[in-house]
Structure 1
Amino acid sequence: GKGAGWRPAPGRAALLWAAGAVVAGTAAAWTLNTVVSAALYPGGPSDHQAWAVERLTSPSGLLHSLTAGGGQLWAMAAGSWGLAALGLVSVLLAVRRGRPADRLMALALLVATAGVAVASAAALFDEHRVGNFAYERYVACFALPYALAGLAGLRRHRRMLAGAASVCLFGGWLVLYMGGRLHTYTFKSRDFPEVALLGGSYTELRPIVISAAASALLALLWALARWGTVKLAGVLLALNLVLTYIPATVWQVSEAVADAAPLPPVTSGSVVLARHVPGVEHPVPDVVSPVSELTYSSVAVKVWWTRLERFDPSAGVRPGVCMAVVEWPAGVTAAETWPQHPPGWSYRRSALMENLWWVIWYDPACVGRKGSR
């Protein structure tokens, strides 16, 4: 029997500690997420799950999800100079030819990668943003294992050619699928710090140029690998140190020149946001017809002295309100966005991502007053 002095075996104790840490960490993360979500979205967050299900169960939505998910992998592959594409080829071959343990690990990596890429692409609203179709952030956690697998198979020229071909083919498919949206959708340089460098432009996405550049760099790495592993490592280290500086510099410049959404010089009184009725004003989540959740969270992070409240613009505001945020529909001037504004109030235009617009009305009498945290 276990007896009064029973203690778990060392291996079992470690397992119990690990399980406890996982449970505690999950509970803490869930609690923090609940608190932050309730503060940012009092009316509840957007239902991305329903949006994903709708996309994945319709032919056009499924094509969109597969293309945008593949675009994430394309950005990862191109941003790693084709190494991740070569690694993807190697992992696919490992599923077919590897030892049982290698097959299982390779299959797990592929399933996780495909799941994250396709699910995130399906759940994203159409923000009229080029980055929605070729955004590496969601699969960035997989870049390292694929790049390492690519380095391990770099000397095999057939795999190298297959990796380069996959990058070029999908780059061409992006051009065909997106069509004019490549130029009419919003391009954010911060979405493409690595691949935009290969395309020679931080103002537009050039999938064909980027694919060709990544393939050429992969061929160069293949040649250097034949020259010697140590020399290849030295060249990669030097290039990464130099090229890391360029996207970082571009990021700083783009942040400096980007359109800000400053608040009026008011730090006191209540702040209200125009009430939004889901399914009435904006039946489909879309930045062109901005959902108030995006506006709410963008303003909430700047209003430190009070909590945002909802109000009906047609009914006016109660005493004590110093600032009111209303949406800015297309076809009207900023001065016409709130005909019922109190006499003497001024307004300031604001924008986010060039496609999400609102107007902030404020009472000039509140300027200079001090709020409290």
Structure 2
Amino acid sequence: MSTETAPVTVAPTTTATADPRADAAARRRRRWLLLFLGGWLAQVAVRLWFDLGQVMPVATPDETGYLFAARVMTGGPDADMSYGTVYRGGYALLLTPAFWISDDPVTVYRIALVVNALISAAMLPLAYVLLRRLQVTRRRSYLFAHVTALLPGTVFYAGFALTDAVLPVIVIGWLLLLHSWLTARDGGARATLCGAGAAFLAAYAYACHTRGVILLLVHVALVAAALAFRWRPWRALPVPGAVLAATAGAGTLLNRWLLPHLYPGGDNDLSGNLARRLTTQDGWGWMLSLGTGQLWYQAVATGGLAAVGLVAVAAAAVRRDTGGRLRALALGVLAIVAGIAFATSGALPDEYRIGNYVYGRYLACITPVLFAVGAAVLLRAPRRALLRASGAAAACTLLAAAVVQWYAGDRLRRYTFTPYDFPETSFLTWDWHAFRLWPATVAGLTLLGLALVATRLPRRGAVLLASLLAAVDLAMVATATERIAQPLVRDFSGYTELTGVKNLRSHTDLAVDWNVPWTIRLSHYYWAWWSDAEVFDARYYRPPARADLVVLNWPRDTAATSTWRGGAPAGWKIVDSRRTPQGDWVAWSRLQAP
């Protein structure tokens, strides 16, 4: 008997395996996400490390203006800053959480610097996106995004309660979003979101600082061009337009509301200065020469790369083969550079300081964009084009230096040198006591030459270039912190702290003599944060009746007890006094509460 065995068919087991290419792509995305998260945290840490010694506002009145605005917005007392520059409330809104968390002045200030660091470090991913759109490879974009985020104008000023901590991030974010809106292929949700984001940032910059007015005007002009040339349909306008109008309107209302709280006697009429300069020949000479000095500073402070970037942007604006949308954006960047440089110069009063004629802070908000463009030119341009761009940048830098020398002349030596105005050029000339125009120019162009040599190296040239630029940036910030920021903190603490006043918190009403130097007067407002400080002129008026702490000017060759005109009333005594390079003052207090 035979037994037949039926064949057994084994069905193939189907295992759900993911596509290897999809897995690899997911791993790459996770790796890049971790790189950006780690990089952002590293940038935050760098900023906080340099900020360790910052405990009080020293860039007076700018820092105190923003801190007082935030204090008022959280229900705190007013501060009389009459006849000074108006500091807008947009940036101060970011500082309000500090006043909700603490009422200790030092703690509030440190929290403000943490807020600065978190926002300022966002320059890393934004610079990366800009470099990628300039067709730089991913790895090089990441590398040079770090270098861009380490620029002294981005890092050093993040260590102060200033709009300069956030404006660079706002400007580059606006540019990227507007580029996305202009170049979107359809009018979908992504394009609408980008348009609304760009509109919000332009209007928010307007609410933060007068430099934001330039950004807002350029934004409106570019949107109008997009509609006129039919780059975007009319249906793409309502949402971004509504966001622009709402944000700008809210910012205007906020700033108008702040005026009587901080400037009850009026401001210093910077718009009047600008109008006078625009209507006189001497005014035009002042404005154009000082604006040229600002351009010179950015070129030298970045080792010539910002100048290369500016030349490249100008070339893109005039070349025939440049697309209309890209040409419009290039013209917009040029308008921002020129508008900020010349408008701020026109509004400035003559303060008899060298910083009137060469200054870096105002254009620091657009410098990262120019630096990134310059870096892209060095990394991608053919040899001949690179030499042309670098030669044009060097020539423009030398010409700008010549204009500064011609117009300012010996005022660069005679006028007041303020180290705070020159963190980069002081490092380049290794001199924190005087401004040296031509040595700084030579040092900046030398760095440009070294950068050109590094780019021509066959291997690791980009890494060497990034290392060189990052080392210079960090050295500039480190020396500026050690030789500028920290001495300012020590001096201001010693000059202004009301340390001799026992039970300072129990004094509810502070009155300060108008003749006390304004840097000290505003610092006293800061230390006595709970008081609705009053100002009076002790030459003509007695202190306000309700005051229980009075700070009076202390003339030279005068006894401290003689500072109270006509003699102090019964119950008052001197509780603190200082003679300082900034000015002299005496603090009086009631012995008993009224």
TM-score, L = length of structure 2: 0.51
> Is structure 2 residue 106 aligned with structure 1 residue 106?
no
Deviation digits for residues 87-129 of structure 1 (CA, Å, limit 9, x no counterpart): 2222222332242424322222212211111111111222222
How many residue pairs get aligned? The number is: 341
Letter in 2 for 1:96: V
Question: How far does residue 347 in structure 1 lie from its aligned partner after superposition?
Answer: 6.2
Aligned to 2:496, what secondary structure does the other structure show? coil
**Shift in alpha-carbon separation, 1:110–1:346, aligned structure 2, 3 A:** same
> How many angstroms apart in 2 are the aligned matches of 1:13 and 1:25?
16
> How many angstroms apart in 2 are the aligned matches of 1:180 and 1:334?
40
Letter in 1 for 2:467: A
Residue number among 192, 196, 208 corresponding to 2:426 in the alignment: 196
**Shift in alpha-carbon separation, 1:308–1:364, aligned structure 2, 3 A:** closer
Residue number among 531, 536, 542 corresponding to 1:311 in the alignment: 536
**Shift in alpha-carbon separation, 1:316–1:174, aligned structure 2, 3 A:** same
Deviation digits for residues 229-255 of structure 1 (CA, Å, limit 9, x no counterpart): x73331233234433332333333223
Aligned to 1:194, what secondary structure does the other structure show? helix
> Is structure 2 residue 399 aligned with structure 1 residue 185?
no
**Shift in alpha-carbon separation, 1:256–1:149, aligned structure 2, 3 A:** closer
Match of 2:286 in 1: 64
Residue number among 252, 274, 289 corresponding to 2:481 in the alignment: 252
Structure-to-structure mapping, 1:239-318, within 5 angstroms? 239-253=468-482, 254-258=484-488, 259-260=491-492, 261-265=495-499, 266=501, 267=504, 268-274=507-513, 297-313=522-538, 314-318=540-544
Structure-to-structure mapping, 1:16-27, within 5 angstroms? 16-27=238-249
Q: Is the CA contact (8 Å cut-off) linking 1:187 and 1:203 kept in structure 2?
A: yes
**Shift in alpha-carbon separation, 1:96–1:300, aligned structure 2, 3 A:** same
- Name the % identity: 29
Question: How far does residue 365 in structure 1 lie from its aligned partner after superposition?
Answer: 4.6
Q: Is the CA contact (8 Å cut-off) linking 2:425 and 2:440 kept in structure 1?
A: yes
Aligned to 2:460, what secondary structure does the other structure show? helix
Q: Is the CA contact (8 Å cut-off) linking 1:168 and 1:212 kept in structure 2?
A: no
Farther off after superposition, 155-164 or 44-53: 155-164
Q: Is the CA contact (8 Å cut-off) linking 2:511 and 2:544 kept in structure 1?
A: no
Question: How far does residue 179 in structure 1 lie from its aligned partner after superposition?
Answer: 2.8
- Root-mean-square deviation (CA, aligned residues, Å) is 3.4
Deviation digits for residues 108-159 of structure 1 (CA, Å, limit 9, x no counterpart): 2212211111111111222222222222111112212322332344442122
Aligned to 2:293, what secondary structure does the other structure show? helix
TM-score, L = length of structure 1: 0.78
Letter in 1 for 2:457: W
> Is structure 2 residue 492 aligned with structure 1 residue 238?
no
Q: Is the CA contact (8 Å cut-off) linking 1:262 and 1:350 kept in structure 2?
A: no
Deviation digits for residues 317-338 of structure 1 (CA, Å, limit 9, x no counterpart): 2444233345678x87685766
> How many angstroms apart in 2 are the aligned matches of 1:67 and 1:181?
13
**Shift in alpha-carbon separation, 1:120–1:190, aligned structure 2, 3 A:** same
> How many angstroms apart in 2 are the aligned matches of 1:132 and 1:40?
26
Farther off after superposition, 43-52 or 25-34: 25-34
Deviation digits for residues 42-84 of structure 1 (CA, Å, limit 9, x no counterpart): 2222211001111222222221211211111111111111111
> How many angstroms apart in 2 are the aligned matches of 1:32 and 1:104?
32
Aligned to 1:310, what secondary structure does the other structure show? strand
Match of 1:120 in 2: 344
**Shift in alpha-carbon separation, 1:256–1:220, aligned structure 2, 3 A:** closer
Residue number among 144, 147, 156 corresponding to 2:371 in the alignment: 147
Aligned to 1:126, what secondary structure does the other structure show? coil
Aligned to 2:267, what secondary structure does the other structure show? coil
> How many angstroms apart in 1 are the aligned matches of 2:242 and 2:337?
27
Letter in 1 for 2:512: L
Question: How far does residue 304 in structure 1 lie from its aligned partner after superposition?
Answer: 0.8
Letter in 2 for 1:193: P
> How many angstroms apart in 2 are the aligned matches of 1:240 and 1:175?
28
Aligned to 2:287, what secondary structure does the other structure show? helix
The structure with more radius of gyration: 2
Match of 1:90 in 2: 312
> How many angstroms apart in 2 are the aligned matches of 1:349 and 1:37?
32
> How many angstroms apart in 1 are the aligned matches of 2:283 and 2:497?
38
More helix per residue: 1 or 2?
2
Farther off after superposition, 166-175 or 105-114: 166-175
Question: How far does residue 188 in structure 1 lie from its aligned partner after superposition?
Answer: 2.5
> What residue ranges of structure 1 are gaps of 5+ in the alignment?
1-7, 277-288
Aligned to 1:183, what secondary structure does the other structure show? helix
